[in-house]
Amino acid sequence: MTPPSTGTAPTENPAELDRTDPEREVAVRAEAFRNWGRWGEDDVLGTLNFIDAAKRIEAAGLVREGTVISLAQAFDTNGPQKGWRRRTNPVHTMTDTGTDAERGNQGFPHGIGGADDVIAMPLQCSTQWDGLGHIFDHGNAWNGRRAGDVVTSDGDLVTGIEHAASVIVSRGVLLDLGRHLEPETGELRDGYAITVDDLESCIAAQGATSAVGRGDIVLVRTGQYGRTRRDGWGDYAGGPAPGLSLTTAGWLHRTEIAAIATDTWGFEVRPNEFDAPAFQPLHQVVIPNIGLTIGEMWNLEALADECARLRRYEMLLSAAPLPITGAVGSPINPVAIL
């Protein structure tokens, strides 16, 4: 049940969270920051509506060096997944090979041969977007729809990821929280909850190119992905991680960003900030209530190095999902163009 409005904004100080009552802490933020109806009752894009033609023209003007950096992890069997909720790593199988061509057993004329392959994977096993049909709040999907009317065994019938296929091109902003808060290592410790003060102090420290506003796609580097590439995956998929505090929900709402992505498995801090049972409470606020698209497991290491070298943290960012009809998420190969 949503508690009555107190007329005061939810706290942005993690120390003031009631760690015994995740239900209420989620509910007050869902009520305070809900965007239902903001873009009409038929909306399927949520905060991606903040990206308009002017924002894309602005973003295109940021290209100066012509450097393109992929922000994707590898899609292969050497991935982080452990099978939780049937999430496995990609399985890549060749259906035609060069050996077949050499032996001439492919049935083609005049010596031509070829190779073909197939891949099987959960859509959210590596670098990906969470779509608006991915998370519900008390049976409600984005824009106040009933979850069962939105996502059925036929897929997401309303807010499927295909609707965003030509949308997610905008100004990207890297907030390198790892380097900012831990300059010696460049990596936040697992379980560190990133606060609004942390986000704003990082913006101030990095300078004017880190200013965050309407239609931007914010990239938050914690350093955890880089650590896994050095030390091994460990519990990267589903285990302890640095990430955003539940108390950042108001910042995510008022900045009017279009989307946000992190280099971690779950975007928000893990373990979550409660002594009572809780699971991904920030997801519960931002996806079905704010309408915010979330990216996870992005590889921000090379981008962070280049941004630090250039002392410039804004870029043209293209991160189109695959137009998989009815999907609630999509693998992507996002690219930053500097």
The whole-number average pLDDT for the span 260-281 is 98
- Tell me if 286 sits within 8 A of 205, measured CB to CB: no
Q: Assign domain 19-82+122-337 to its CATH superfamily.
A: Putative cyclase (3.50.30.50)
- pLDDT of res. 14: 97
Token representation of residue 84: 């939780």
Cβ-Cβ contacts under 8 Å for 79 (sequence gap 6 or more): 73, 89, 90, 125, 126, 233
- Tell me if 210 sits within 8 A of 173, measured CB to CB: yes
Distance CA 122, CA 89 (A): 8
Distance CA 271, CA 81 (A): 18
Would you give the end-to-end CA distance of the chain in angstroms?
A: 47
Torsion over CA: 146, 149, 153, 156 (sign)? negative
Cβ neighbours, 10 Å, residue 3: 12
- pLDDT of res. 8: 84
- pLDDT of res. 3: 41
C-alpha pair distances (Å), 261 with each of 97, 147, 178, 216, 223: 37, 24, 14, 11, 13
- pLDDT of res. 7: 61
The whole-number average pLDDT for the span 17-21 is 98
Q: Where in the chain is the domain with CATH 3.50.30.50?
A: 19-82+122-337
- Tell me if 312 sits within 8 A of 338, measured CB to CB: yes
Residue 198's closest CA among 217, 214, 166, 175?
Answer: 175
The whole-number average pLDDT for the span 172-181 is 98
- pLDDT of res. 223: 98
* Average per-residue pLDDT for the chain: 96
The whole-number average pLDDT for the span 259-283 is 98
The whole-number average pLDDT for the span 234-241 is 97
- pLDDT of res. 288: 98
- pLDDT of res. 194: 98
Residue 1 has pLDDT above 90, yes or no: no
With 0-12 / 13-18 / 19 or more C-beta atoms within 10 angstroms meaning exposed / middle / buried, residue 223 is buried
Residue 49 has pLDDT above 50, yes or no: yes
